[in-house]
């Protein structure tokens, strides 16, 4: 019997997001993962989050929260990276395996909306930093500068998304972007450490907080950044040669970047208090050059959002290639950055992010410790209601917990609860991988 046109078209356009990456395409070694996630972990937004920790907290408390939160959050990223590498599946494939093909469309759509929003937000951050740099260096203050800056960075992201992701990571990020951003961070750290020495290290180190934020609340704030990358990490880790390399490289790279940028934000806030972090960085000697290099490194954050949104979109409509979806997402992000008031959208974006804490708590509970993900994906027709129920309960718990107590934060307790319940209630075929249920 001859195949129908629809099935023939489907055969010509395989769903890359729901198909494991072939062994011949798995080229990332541990240092590729490390350089990628160090680069993605560096950003002006991360430094600004670090600056929020003081003066509410004391210096020692803030650094304790930064180190502990970074190690925990990056460890979660590494864990999902390991699962992605073991299975060869993108994040959309993991959602299909856990929640069922029919229901997985909902979190995938939410992820696309989230990534489109964060990609837009990244372009706004890059635009504002570019305008500040131009004003500082050339004294120009044209009304059309924000529009030109937005179009410039949007065009750069579209140019990058039209190429190969693997080539971008292995050649551009590892060999060019990473050394430059390391130099800029070293320079800024040296400059603000010199200011701290002039003001007195002992005084700054023993400085007490003014109150308003506890250690657990600060831990929640620090973990928020790595958790925001959970829906993206498998999209890259699936190209790793070994799952241990994906785990260790992702964990090491992101933890170092998160600790460094949060701590630098604290140092800037202590030595040169300012409502605008970009302005404070520009006031440092050589800050213009260092900030320009960090700004260039922000491109990969916007690229990462666009690429993963494209992979998720491709999982829903595979007739469009990942590259074609990426160009559309980058163009939409650019257009939105021109017209949307991003500061009023930030609470909405954070609300969407809270959805993915319990989502991946359930995914980790179901797929951790060698669970046969490929087998689970084959059985993913319909809806896996127990997993769906745990996810929805986790969302409710995330938002109800602060109404009961603020002593523990929301992210970490929700993640632990969803993971524990998902692990304890795994179907027997997931626990043993021995029998399969009918499709």
> Burial code of 404-432, b = ≥16 C-beta within 10 A, e = fewer?
eeeebbbbbbbbebbbebbbeebeebbee
Q: Tell me which DSSP letter residue 2 carries.
A: P
> 223: which residues sit within 8 A by CB, 6+ positions away?
69, 72, 73, 409, 411, 412
pTM score > 0.85 for this model?
yes
Whether 439 shows a pLDDT value over 70: the answer reads: no
Which pLDDT score, from 0 to 100, does residue 433 have?
45
CA–CA dist 406, 395 (Å, integer)? 16
Whether 8 shows a pLDDT value over 70: the answer reads: no
Which pLDDT score, from 0 to 100, does residue 278 have?
82
- Residue with the bigger pLDDT between 284 and 116: it is 116
Task: Provide the percentage of residues in the chain whose pLDDT is more than 90.
Answer: 54
CA–CA dist 256, 296 (Å, integer)? 19
From the list 285, 299, 262, 318, the residue with the least C-alpha distance to 11 is 318
Q: Average model confidence (pLDDT) for the chain?
A: 87
Which pLDDT score, from 0 to 100, does residue 393 have?
96
Task: Give the best-scoring range by mean pLDDT among 138-152, 250-264, 335-349, 408-422.
Answer: 250-264
Task: Give the best-scoring range by mean pLDDT among 163-177, 255-269, 282-296.
Answer: 255-269
CA–CA dist 129, 198 (Å, integer)? 28
Whether 296 shows a pLDDT value over 90: the answer reads: no
Whether 3 shows a pLDDT value over 60: the answer reads: no
Which pLDDT score, from 0 to 100, does residue 371 have?
60
Name the least confident of 38-47, 129-138, 226-235.
129-138
- Count the residues in the chain: 439
Question: Alpha helix (H) ranges present in 18-100?
Answer: 30-41, 44-51, 59-87, 91-99
- Residue with the bigger pLDDT between 378 and 14: it is 14
Which pLDDT score, from 0 to 100, does residue 252 have?
97
Whether 93 shows a pLDDT value over 50: the answer reads: yes
Task: Give the best-scoring range by mean pLDDT among 293-307, 312-326, 342-356, 423-437.
Answer: 312-326
pLDDT band at 7 (very low <50, low <70, confident <90, very high): very low
HSE value, Cβ hemisphere, 13 Å, CA-based, for 311: 27
Which pLDDT score, from 0 to 100, does residue 4 have?
43
Domains of the chain: 29-341 (1.10.4160.10)
Cα–Cα separations (whole angstroms), residue 370 to 227, 238, 367: 22, 15, 7
**Segment (H or E) for 145:** helix 145-161
Give pLDDT tens digits for 325-371: 999 999 999 999 998 776 655 566 567 778 999 999 999 998 887 66
pLDDT band at 246 (very low <50, low <70, confident <90, very high): very high
Paired residues of 28 in beta bridges: 240
**Residue matched to tokens 């950003």:** 43
Whether 10 shows a pLDDT value over 80: the answer reads: no
Whether 6 shows a pLDDT value over 90: the answer reads: no
Which pLDDT score, from 0 to 100, does residue 432 have?
47
Which pLDDT score, from 0 to 100, does residue 378 have?
58
pLDDT band at 9 (very low <50, low <70, confident <90, very high): very low
pLDDT band at 5 (very low <50, low <70, confident <90, very high): very low
């Amino acid at each position: 019997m001859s195949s129908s046109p629809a099935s023939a078209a489907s055969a010509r356009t395989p769903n890359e997001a729901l198909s494991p990456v072939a062994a011949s395409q798995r080229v990332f070694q541990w240092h590729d993962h490390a350089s990628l996630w160090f680069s993605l972990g560096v950003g002006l937004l991360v430094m600004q989050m670090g600056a929020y920790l003081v003066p509410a907290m004391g210096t020692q408390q803030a650094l304790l929260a930064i180190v502990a939160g970074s190690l925990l959050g990056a460890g979660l990223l590494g864990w999902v990276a390991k699962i992605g590498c073991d299975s060869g599946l993108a994040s959309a494939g993991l959602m299909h395996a856990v929640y069922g093909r029919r229901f997985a469309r909902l979190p995938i759509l939410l992820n696309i909306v989230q990534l489109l929003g964060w990609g837009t937000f990244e372009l706004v951050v890059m635009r504002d930093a570019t305008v500040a740099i131009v004003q500082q260096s050339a004294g120009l203050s044209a009304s059309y500068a924000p529009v030109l800056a937005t179009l410039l960075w949007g065009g750069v992201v579209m140019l990058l998304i039209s190429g190969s992701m693997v080539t971008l990571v292995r050649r551009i990020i590892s060999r060019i972007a990473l050394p430059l951003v390391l130099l800029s961070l070293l320079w800024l750290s040296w400059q603000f450490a010199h200011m701290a020495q002039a003001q007195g290290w002992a005084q700054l180190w023993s400085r007490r907080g003014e109150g308003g934020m506890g250690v657990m609340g600060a831990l929640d704030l620090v973990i928020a950044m790595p958790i925001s990358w959970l829906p993206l990490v498998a999209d890259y880790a699936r190209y790793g040669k070994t799952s241990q390399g994906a785990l260790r490289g992702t964990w090491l790279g992101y933890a170092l970047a998160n600790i460094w940028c949060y701590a630098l934000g604290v140092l800037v806030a202590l030595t040169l208090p300012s409502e605008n972090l970009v302005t404070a960085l520009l006031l440092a000697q050589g800050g213009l050059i260092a900030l320009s290099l960090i700004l260039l490194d922000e491109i990969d954050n916007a690229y990462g959002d666009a690429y993963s949104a494209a992979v998720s979109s491709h999982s829903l409509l595979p007739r469009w290639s990942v590259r074609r979806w990426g160009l559309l997402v980058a163009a939409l992000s650019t257009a939105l950055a021109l017209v949307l008031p991003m500061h009023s959208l930030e609470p909405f974006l954070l609300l969407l992010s809270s959805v993915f804490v319990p989502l991946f708590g359930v995914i980790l509970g179901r797929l951790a410790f060698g669970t046969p993900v490929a087998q689970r994906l084959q059985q993913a027709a319909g809806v896996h209601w127990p997993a769906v129920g745990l996810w929805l309960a986790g969302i409710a718990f995330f938002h109800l917990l602060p109404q009961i107590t603020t002593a523990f934060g929301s992210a970490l307790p929700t993640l632990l609860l969803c993971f524990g319940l998902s692990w304890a209630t795994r179907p027997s075929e997931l626990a043993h991988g021995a029998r399969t249920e009918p499709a």
